[in-house]
Amino acid sequence: MGLSDSEKRDLCKLIEEGKKLPERYRFLLFDESKQVELKWNGKNDEISNIVLPFQTIEQIDEPRTEDIQYDQGVFDLLQGRQKTGWTNKLIWGDNKYILSSLKNGPMRDEIEKYGGIKLIYIDPPFDTSADFSLNVEIGDENSYDKKPNVLEHIAYRDTWGRGEDSFLSMLYERLLLMKDLLRSDGIIFLHCDERRNHLIRSILDEIFGRERLINEVIWKRRGGVLAQSRTFGSAVDHILVYSKSENYTFAPPTTMSGAEDYIKERFRYEDDSGRKFRVSPMVSPSYSANLVYEYKGVKPPKNGWSCSLQKMEQWDKEGKLLFPKKEGGRIQRKQYLDEWEGRPVQSLWDDIPPVNPQAKERLGYPTQKPEALLERIINTVTEKDEIVCDFFAGSGTTAAVSEKLGRKWICSDLGKFAIHTIRKRMIGVQRELKKDGKNWRSFEVLNLGKYQREYFLSDDEEKSDEISIKDKKMKIFDFENLIFEAYKASRVNGFRTLHGKRGDDFVSIGPVNQPLSRNHIEEVISECLKNKIISVHILGFEYEMGLFPTIQQEAKERGVRLLFKHIPIDIFDKRAVKKGEVIFHDVAYIEFQCHSNNGYIDVELKDFAVFYNEDNFAIEDSLKPGKSKIVIEQGQILEKRKNKDGDFSEKVITNNWHDWIDYWSVDFNYESKKEFIKFFDNDGKIEERWTGNFIFENEWQSFRTKGLEKKLELRSSRKKLTEKKTKVAVKVIDIFGNDTMKVIEVEL
């Protein structure tokens, strides 16, 4: 180690006294110590190795059957049912656990079987102070600013928004996992702005190595001019490109940008047909070329040009030669604008504009990136059928472009509304491909569901880097007391999942930062049966996808009455709690009717009811004269307005029950496809186990989009079934992205 005797004595003394070693000893003791590195409070090289099973909530095989009269299970271009091959994956949840489970779990084998992950593109939410509200449409004419739900709020602000240290820790661990997931010739594109570009680049240097930097791309994302008084207007984003190894493929495309400048570089001509061209001289000697001169009656110059006679004659026949008018002049070759191959793309991308506010692809996400940007990235790095991933998927641009280009994809997001937005977008892409006679792949909606809940409850330390133990205890105890006060219930002890009591009924509270899961409810049922309890109110902010209605029916058959309630977001306003203004409402209600005739069946949606309250605290005092605000009260969306004189008025925006619906879909033969989870047994072999649940196979759907399809259809197309009985499932997703499902049995 090269330590002197005095340094050794100092080290021993410091260790015996339990004191910290001076920084300089790190470089003396460890030969491999980095001389330059990025450090921050809480930095840790340890990464999550947890493996949680993925639950399959839904599968979308084809856009719509549209009266195609075939039984479910056929796989062809007409039916679009996919039984084998790769299925694209849309995953809802925390990407930390998603990445860890992909890296270490059974799905890794499937990924490797289909070639491994070639490209990862991510655009993480690096601005934790930003407004994450989204504009959602209501009915056919109105819109509403949707605020983040509780899960998104906690994740973006509490977890990642505690300053730069927490953001860097979040990103660092996830990038370590992503590097492990990439195949050996894989490449990552990370999108950021100038505020944290220098820090993120340092992290990527440390994880991938400085020598693995391919490019820093500058994308001009703004076309107009910003009026700034103290800074230059910010008009660009940064895209950092790193490879996993030195063995990678990279094929920069060409761009047609600058075509007019290309024409002007020397001369600009227009022939009789109106085609624009430029000319370039050919100036190397060649005897064979002289024959063409003589053929045209033109005396050749002393210096001809090197080109075969056959090529000259070919160009002459194609009209690509311009002969001189004067003796001794040079023959020149025409180069037409429409035949120009373009210029190789450089690291400055100023030819891709941002998403136009009126563009068909615009979905209302403030950070949405244009499809042309992702198309360039995906085409540069991947070939058809290779796997592309995006773990901060947002509005789903990566998935949409990958599908159009024939790539396989895996995308995930923490936001439930983002998953719903991507689902709609991908069905739209499927419809376009089907209309054009092109192939598409099915995709499945996955989550970690109850398994992530189990893990969260069992391991405090795993969460200590993101949500402190102090905050967790507040959520488990003090926060529960706040809910009890609002719900007019009292705390009880001695149970694991039963936390309070209201009259003769018990109360169970779901987690604040996870969806209320099937596992939680199963534990409630078990405790009820053990203690002879027959009625429980279950309160939750969010409910696991695909949870209803089977769990409620299962409890009823076992003699337990479950009443599910939404905890409104206004529970966070202690003033509202003290005043008794917090109202808990039942989960949404669906009513539909099945029409059957001669083996055919279709579904008509008859009613949908929600009971939300949001954004109405002291609005009469806070609203300025001449202004209005959209609020939700008692399951209605209202526009509240204060005129210049201070008089208050309101207008109901949700005129019809279907104004609450953004999307609905039908599985005509529910319970035909069982849900299996994969896991490693004690010998490390992959096993499958039926969860007891079924996968919702999305066979028909109607949803609101821009333009002509904005209007919602309330009756499905027909479906032919051969069975005498079937279970029909209808899933409705409201304008905030919350889903509700109902199943009924039908005799044909």
Q: What is the pLDDT of residue 416?
A: 80
In this prediction, residue 162 has a pLDDT band, given cuts at 50, 70 and 90, of low
Boundary (domain end) residue, out of 558, 586, 614: 586
| Burial grade of 596 (CB within 10 A; 0-12, 13-18, 19 or more) | middle
In this prediction, residue 466 has a pLDDT band, given cuts at 50, 70 and 90, of very low
For the cut 90, the answer to whether the pLDDT of residue 633 exceeds it is no
Which range of residues forms the domain containing residue 504? 468-512+515-547+549-586
Share of the chain above pLDDT 70, in %: 71
Least confident of 93-107, 146-160, 579-593, 712-726: 146-160
Q: Is residue 321 part of a domain?
A: yes
For the cut 60, the answer to whether the pLDDT of residue 670 exceeds it is yes
For the cut 90, the answer to whether the pLDDT of residue 41 exceeds it is no
Q: What is the pLDDT of residue 519?
A: 85
For the cut 50, the answer to whether the pLDDT of residue 352 exceeds it is yes
**pLDDT per residue over 637-651, tens digit each?**
788 888 888 888 888
Boundary (domain end) residue, out of 323, 343, 363: 343
Boundary (domain end) residue, out of 343, 372, 394: 343
Q: What is the pLDDT of residue 154?
A: 47
Paired residues of 719 in beta bridges: 601
In this prediction, residue 74 has a pLDDT band, given cuts at 50, 70 and 90, of very low
Q: What is the pLDDT of residue 660?
A: 87
Distances (CA, A) of 169 to 39, 175, 199, 393: 10, 10, 12, 20
In this prediction, residue 185 has a pLDDT band, given cuts at 50, 70 and 90, of very high
Q: Is residue 637 part of a domain?
A: no
In this prediction, residue 67 has a pLDDT band, given cuts at 50, 70 and 90, of very low
Find out whether 516 and 510 touch, Cβ atoms under 8 Å. yes
In this prediction, residue 627 has a pLDDT band, given cuts at 50, 70 and 90, of confident
Tokens of 576: 């509202």
**pLDDT per residue over 120-133, tens digit each?**
999 998 655 554 55
**pLDDT per residue over 676-687, tens digit each?**
888 888 888 899
Q: What is the pLDDT of residue 73?
A: 30
Least confident of 1-10, 397-406, 497-506, 550-559: 1-10
Q: Which residues contact 354 (CB under 8 A, 6 or more apart)?
A: 221, 222, 223, 370
For the cut 90, the answer to whether the pLDDT of residue 6 exceeds it is no
**pLDDT per residue over 200-234, tens digit each?**
999 999 999 999 999 999 999 876 666 667 888 88
For the cut 50, the answer to whether the pLDDT of residue 443 exceeds it is yes
In this prediction, residue 267 has a pLDDT band, given cuts at 50, 70 and 90, of very low
Number of domains in the chain: 2
For the cut 50, the answer to whether the pLDDT of residue 462 exceeds it is no
Residue with tokens 């079937």: 726
The answer, yes or no, to whether the previous bond of 511 is cis (omega within 30 of 0) is no
Compute the average pLDDT of residues 85-90: 92
Give me the chain's average pLDDT, please: 78
The DSSP result for 646-681, as a single string, is --EEEEE---SGGGGEEEEEEETTTTSSEEEEEEE-
For the cut 90, the answer to whether the pLDDT of residue 111 exceeds it is yes
Q: What is the pLDDT of residue 464?
A: 47
For the cut 70, the answer to whether the pLDDT of residue 378 exceeds it is yes
521 or 467: which carries more pLDDT confidence? 521
Compute the average pLDDT of residues 485-500: 91
Q: What is the pLDDT of residue 732?
A: 93
Q: Is residue 477 part of a domain?
A: yes
Long-range Cβ pairs for the range 295-303 (8 Å, 24+): 296/323, 298/323, 298/324, 298/327, 298/329, 298/331, 299/327, 299/328, 301/328, 301/329, 301/330
Compute the average pLDDT of residues 470-487: 72
Q: What is the pLDDT of residue 630?
A: 74
Tokens of 181: 């997931």
Q: H or E segment at 469?
A: helix 469-473
643 or 511: which carries more pLDDT confidence? 643
Compute the average pLDDT of residues 644-665: 85
For the cut 80, the answer to whether the pLDDT of residue 246 exceeds it is yes
Q: Is residue 165 part of a domain?
A: no
Rounded CA-CA distance 714/712 in Å is 6
Find out whether 601 and 746 touch, Cβ atoms under 8 Å. yes
Compute the average pLDDT of residues 691-695: 85
**pLDDT per residue over 295-321, tens digit each?**
555 555 555 545 566 777 777 788 777
- pTM: predicted TM-score of the whole model, two decimal places: 0.75
For the cut 70, the answer to whether the pLDDT of residue 696 exceeds it is yes
Q: What is the pLDDT of residue 157?
A: 47
Q: Is residue 737 part of a domain?
A: no
Q: What is the pLDDT of residue 148?
A: 53
Q: What is the pLDDT of residue 70?
A: 32
81 or 622: which carries more pLDDT confidence? 622
Q: What is the pLDDT of residue 392?
A: 94
**End-to-end CA distance of the chain, in Å?**
83
For the cut 80, the answer to whether the pLDDT of residue 325 exceeds it is no
Helix (H, G, I), strand (E, B) or coil at 401: helix
Compute the average pLDDT of residues 34-56: 78
Share of the chain above pLDDT 90, in %: 30
64 or 365: which carries more pLDDT confidence? 365
Q: What is the pLDDT of residue 52?
A: 87
In this prediction, residue 286 has a pLDDT band, given cuts at 50, 70 and 90, of very low
For the cut 50, the answer to whether the pLDDT of residue 253 exceeds it is yes
Q: Is residue 64 part of a domain?
A: no
Compute the average pLDDT of residues 371-377: 94
Q: Is residue 316 part of a domain?
A: yes
Q: Is residue 297 part of a domain?
A: yes
Using alpha carbons, select from 97, 117, 89, 112 the residue that is nearest to residue 51: 97
Q: Which of 108-112, 147-151, 685-689 has the highest mean pLDDT?
A: 108-112
The DSSP result for 257-321, as a single string, is TTHHHHHHTS--EE-TT--EEEEEE--S--HHHHHHHHHTT-PPPSS-----HHHHHHHHHTT-E
Find out whether 608 and 660 touch, Cβ atoms under 8 Å. yes
- DSSP letter at 570? G
Q: What is the pLDDT of residue 716?
A: 92
Helix (H, G, I), strand (E, B) or coil at 169: helix
Number of helices (H), then strands (E), in the chain: 21, 37
In this prediction, residue 450 has a pLDDT band, given cuts at 50, 70 and 90, of low
